[in-house]
Structure 1
Amino acid sequence: MKKRGFFYRNSLSIVFVSLFLITLVAQAFTGWKENNKELLEDGGHPEAFAVYLHSGHFISATFENFQSEFLQMALYVLLTVGLRQRGSAESKKIDEPEEVDREPVPGPDAPAPVNKGGFMLKLYSNSLSIAFFILFFVSWGLHLYGSWQDNNEQQILKGLPTETLGQFVTEPLFWFETFQNWQSEFLSVASIVILTIFLRQKGSPESKPVDAPHMETGK
């Protein structure tokens, strides 16, 4: 077997992490410019870039997207355990047993929790969905905090009283930001679940083989 280099063996994660970092920096820079423009228009003073990175505007915009993505992945991982979609490449088989459902077997190459058993095995068996839900709740909390801070900064510029976190969370602004992100994530999952019934991408693990029947479920 031909020995592959480090990049080849890790190229998928390297490319996506790189794209994430590039677009995060681009978001921060353009957000800083846009926020300073708004501050000047409202009679405020522009902020330094380092100050902007701690502002409600940046925190809210960043974690508003993070929390919806992590919610999408948490629900996707969890719901695909028991739910099915006939013909979708993203679904388990309708009636056939799947490799992912077999009971874990201890062994020299098995992860440590598998060999330990008990509570650690139970926790590890659900660790992917647990991790995504923790990331979701942390991101949701930071989105709430950033949106609240940004709202109060806008209130101060307008000469209006600031709001407590309890007051802010009952108003529609935060929930409007939240639901507009959630619905787009649910739409994207529904799209890949349904479109993989009929459409193909040769070479992608997210697609069925090109010659697979439409109603064949799974890859």
Structure 2
Amino acid sequence: MPRFIRDNGLTLFFLLLFLCSLAGQAVAGFAEFNDQQLVQGGATITFGDYLTSSDFAVDTAENWQSEYLQFLLLIYLTVWLVQRGSPESKPVGKIGPESDAEQRVAAHARPGSPDAARLRGLPGTLFGHSLGLLMGAVFALSWLAQSIAGRAAYNAQRIEQLQDPVGWLAYVTGADFWSRTLQNWQSEFLAVASMAIFAVYLRQRGSPESKPVGESHGATDAGD
């Protein structure tokens, strides 16, 4: 068990942070929701009801979809776009999907390569894009969940105000959905751009997200 924790420490630590922050979000959101209900003269709900409500679901899903969109774009755009000097980028001379030899696939697979890396045709292609496909699938599902939960929460407010509910298409093309969506997207895009350029000139000793402290600013990898 200690070796398992050591070998998977980064994943386990962030999963623990995720669970703690999700629990904190649930408790704080529950308190805020009931406070709003009392202010508006409505009835309070139980914690269990809040966890299964559209309000909790939309707040959670809109953050998930923006995070996975960030990863999706970073995975695919870094195939073709580079930032000289940044550890977030490939070397400038390796723009593109690279050769089979560079990627160690098919006939170029090594003894320790995954079995799927030896496959040809569609199976090999799918494995070669599996990370991006997974991130894209999670983004699409969380975006869909946000739109469904967001519509339910939005319509609940409209009904309280004696207004007609709106359909799914009307909601996803409306201001409420895109206000929720874009306020998350803009922060993700700024964070990625900041990390890409700041890592050119700043260092964090011992971190794989940083170049070695003594590496030149213009070096994108040790061979530059």
Give the match for residue 38 of structure 1.
36
In the superposition, the TM-score normalised over structure 2's length comes to 0.90
What is the letter of the counterpart of residue 174 of structure 2? E
Taking a change above 3 Å as real, the CA distance of residues 117 and 78 of structure 1, as seen in their structure-2 partners, is same
Question: Is contact 1:39-1:46 (8 Å) kept?
Answer: yes
Is 2:198 the counterpart of 1:195?
yes
Maintained 8 Å contact 2:58/2:149: yes
Q: Is residue 2:180 matched to residue 1:182?
A: no
The alignment yields a C-alpha RMSD, in angstroms, of 2.0
Alignment partner, residue 166 of structure 2 = 163
SS of the residue corresponding to residue 11 of structure 2 reads helix
Query: Any conservation in 2 of the 1:87–1:216 contact (CA below 8 Å)?
Result: yes
In 2, distance between residues paired with 1:210 and 1:174?
A: 44
TM-fit CA distance, 1:44: 1.8
Q: Which residue is 2:27 aligned to?
A: 29
**Stretch of structure 1 that moved more, 90-99 or 123-132:** 90-99
Partner of 1:122: 125
Matched residues in 2 for 1:218 and 1:31: separation? 45
Identity, in percent, stands at 39
8 Å contact kept, 1:44–1:157: no
1:82-141 Cα shifts (integer Å, max 9, x gaps): 111111111111126989943413455332322332211100001111110110000001
Which residue does the alignment assign to 2:103? 102
5 Å-filtered alignment, 1:13-162, equals 13-95=11-93, 101-104=102-105, 105-106=108-109, 109-162=112-165
How far does residue 173 in structure 1 lie from its aligned partner after superposition?
Answer: 1.0
Report deviation, 1:170.
2.4
* Structure 1 gaps, min length 5: none
- Mean Cα displacement is larger for which, 196-205 or 157-166? 157-166
After superposition, the C-alpha distances for 1:49-96 in whole angstroms (9 at most, x for unaligned) are 111112111011001100000000000011111111111111111126
Q: TM-score w.r.t. structure 1 length?
A: 0.92
- Are 2:104 and 2:117, in contact at CA under 8 Å, matched by a contact in 1? no
- Given that residues 114 and 121 in structure 1 are in contact (C-alpha distance below 8 angstroms), is that contact kept between their aligned partners in structure 2? yes
Code of the residue aligned with 1:40 in structure 2: it is: L
Q: SS of the counterpart of 1:95?
A: helix
Q: Determine the C-alpha separation between the residues in 2 that align with 1:145 and 1:82.
A: 34
